[in-house]
Chain A
Amino acid sequence: MELMLLLFIFVLAAFLGFELIAKVPSQLHTPLMSGSNAISGITIVGAILAAGVDHGSTLTTVLGTTAVALATINVIGGYLVTDRMLAMFKKKAPAKKEDGS
Chain B
Amino acid sequence: MMHSDTLINFAYIVASILFIFGLKMLGRQTTARRGNMVSSLGMLLAIIVTLLDRDVVSFQWIIIGIAIGTVIGVSCAKLIKMTSIPEMVALLNGFGGLASLLVGWAEYGKTIAAGETASTFTGTVIVLAVLIGGVTFTGSLYAFGKLSGKLSGKPVMFTGQQFVNGALVLGLLAAAVIYIINGGAGEMGGNAFYVCLAIAFILGITLVMPIGGGDMPVVISMLNSLSGLAACAAGFVILNNVLIVAGCLVGTSGVILTIIMCKAMNRSLAHVLFSGFGSDATAAAGAASDGQIEGELKPISAEDSYSVLEAARNVVIVPGYGMAVSQAQHVVRELAEMLENNGAEVRFAIHPVAGRMPGHMNVLLAEANVPYEQLAEMDSINPQMPMMDVAIVIGANDVVNPAAARDKSSPIYGMPIINAYQANTVICLKRGKGAGFSGIENQLFLLPNTRMLYGDAKSSLQSVVGEFKAMADA
Q: Give the B-binding residues of A (Cβ under 8 A).
A: 2-3, 6, 9-10, 13-18, 20-57, 59-61, 63-93, 95-96, 99
Contacts and interface: CB of A to CB of B under 8 A. Distances in A.
Given A17-B251, A63-B106, 6 more contacts: A3-B239, A13-B249, A14-B251, A38-B92, A73-B73, A89-B363
Interface in B12-56: 19-20, 22-24, 26-29, 32-33, 35-37, 39-40, 43, 46-47, 50-51, 53, 55-56
Contacts of B37: 83
Contacts of B360: 30
Nearest to A44: B47
Which secondary structure dominates chain A's binding surface?
helix
Residue among B221, B352, B362 facing the most chain A CB atoms (10 A cut-off): B362
A74 B92 contact: yes
B365 to A, nearest CB: 9
Nearest to A22: B256
Contacts of A37: 89, 92-93, 96, 224, 227, 250
Contacts, number: 394
Nearest to A11: B248
12 contacts: A17-B255, A30-B89, A38-B43, A40-B224, A42-B247, A45-B50, A50-B106, A51-B61, A67-B99, A70-B69, A70-B102, A89-B32
Residue among A15, A76, A99 facing the most chain B CB atoms (10 A cut-off): A76
A76 B246 contact: no
Nearest to A85: B363
B36 A83 contact: yes
B12 to A, nearest CB: 8
Interface string B59-77: 1011011101110111011
Contacts of B59: 52
Nearest to A89: B366
Interface in B356-393: 357-360, 362-363, 366-367, 369-372, 375, 377
B230 interface: yes
Contact of B65 (A3, A69, A77, A92): A69
Contacts of B249: 13, 16-17, 20, 36, 39
A26 B47 CA distance: 32
A79 B42 CA distance: 12
A9 B235 CA distance: 11
B121 interface: yes
A15 B241 CA distance: 16
Contact of B57 (A28, A43, A53, A69): A53
